[in-house]
Structure 1
Amino acid sequence: MNLVRTAMLLAFMTALFMGVGYLIGGSGGMMIALLVAAAMNFFSYWNSDRMVLSMYGAQEVEERNAPEYYGIVRDLAARAGLPMPRVYVINSDQPNAFATGRNPQNAAVAASTGLLHSLSYEEVAGVMAHELAHIQNRDTLTMTLTATIAGAISMLANFAMFFGGNNRENNNPLGFVGVLIAMIVAPFAAMLVQMAISRTREYSADRRGAEICGNPLWLASALRKIAVAAGRIPNDRAEHNPATAHMFIINPLSGERMDNLFSTHPNTENRIAALQAMAAEDMRQGSTPPPRPDSAGRKSRSVPTTGWGRGGSEPPKGPWS
């Protein structure tokens, strides 16, 4: 079913890409767009995860330089029965995280320095469990492919005025109106992607993530903190690449906080309520939350805010070092 959904989404995005090409250059432009889209679909399948990670300046870390962060991901992946994903850090004050990769064997998770600095151990575990749930549900292929193609649609539409506006040979069957339509497609390209990917996947990842980490309230607490901070702290890279907004655990863009047709994510309070209801149900059934992912018995504490991603030539030193 996931393969069918991915194929349908790619077909839709390819048709949209071709439509912009047609509006800019007529049938010739459409054929060029078709060839470019085919090449892009092939390239994106194999490289979209690297492109998105590069877009956000993500740095890969290992156990030696991020022991507790890496350990959380390792232990949660083992609990979920997943291969160990690559682990990345994004130098951003806005707390947020995402997962990417075409399949569980080629997956990666990324967390911002803001998230690692401001959340407790348990809350980080809840967030990373949510991202591993996306990997397990195979959402990441759809998320990364659509982000790449939607970005290309926006870029193509930005060329509309330069190439379509000077069209003297009537290759564009709609003339200047077609150019205007192509230009209007660009701001809405990311929105179309957000609509194409069902927001129910976030609820599903929340539920499965809570099962992986063992305590729904860890993720609920993290979501509340991230949502508040994301509303105050801008994410400049995300603002310049809005088509990738749907990949994050909380919408990184300013403004879209309502649970409406065009939002990239469900309302945060609704997600928290669902997790609280899940925790209450576990309590009624007498379920006992498992120990922390590393089973070390250490007390929960906030993550220090120094020594990580603040410049300098040394590699990152792990947020709990």
Structure 2
Amino acid sequence: MARLEWGYQGRGKWCSYKRMTLIVCSINIAIALYVIRCLYTSLYLYSNNFPQHSVKYSPDQIEKMEESIRIRKTSEPTDLVKVVKEIKKELDSQERGVKLPRHVKQMMTDEILQWLRRLPANANTSEQRETLEKWRMEKLREAKLLTMGKNANLTISLDEAVMLAKAMESKWPVLLEEIGLWIPAEITSKEHDDKPEGVDEFEEDPLPGRPLPAECHTELHTDYDGAAVRWGLNHRKESAADCCQACLDQARRAKPGEKKCNIWVYCPSESGCYSPDIYEHKFQECWLKYAEKPRLNFKDKYSESYRSLHPTAPPVVPWVSGVVSI
């Protein structure tokens, strides 16, 4: 009886709770290690079977790919890309000219036009320039008052007032061009043959094409102002006589209420004609214009003061114009 009790107690000690827990944990650890080893082995085998950058091309495939690249490059619109880059460069340079917010430039344009409309209809360029200078001095004074914290008749912020004052002091001609306003130089010669003493005569080139009739009132090296009734950029004529005839025909065919052409302006130069606007004016451009009281933009030669502000302007006005009766 004593031996049976001892054997039972010995088996109880061997099968204790702690021993069973230790055995189960050891089995779990062994299984986990086995699973990890299997995963590592499979990854190693996969990386060996599918190594990176192991794709190889035959010489024929490489030649076809190179030919495809050459075809793509030759089919690229290189001229268009070049033009776009030049336009972007020009726009960037214009942006670097005078940095003013758009609403400030619009305010300037509206106020300047209001001041100029107060002038008589027959006001000359000197009176226009004088009015423009008065406006500039007035706005410059108001901008400086605003920068000093005083009341001023300006609806712009302090920073914008500082920028406007600097632009009107140091970059006034550039600023006028950017807002689309320019006033032609003062004209001293009223007639084509009326030359001041001491001024060299410039050589007259004969106009190509048929002779112009007297009714065209042709004036060489002359550019008249007026509202365009036919845009000249896409209106070409073979000769100045044809341009004048187009003006006469438009005036005869104009409907009631439409503006009738009474000014024609033609570009006879094969290298194009200069103008202070943003467009490139080419050979045989024919502008048809209307003005109740025709006024000159330029005549004969551009003045030295004008050419100092516009370096691309040629010495002689390249346009041919005429004022016809309607």
TM-score (norm 2): 0.24
Higher RCO, Cα 8 Å, sep 6+: 1
Tell which structure's C-alpha radius of gyration is larger.
2
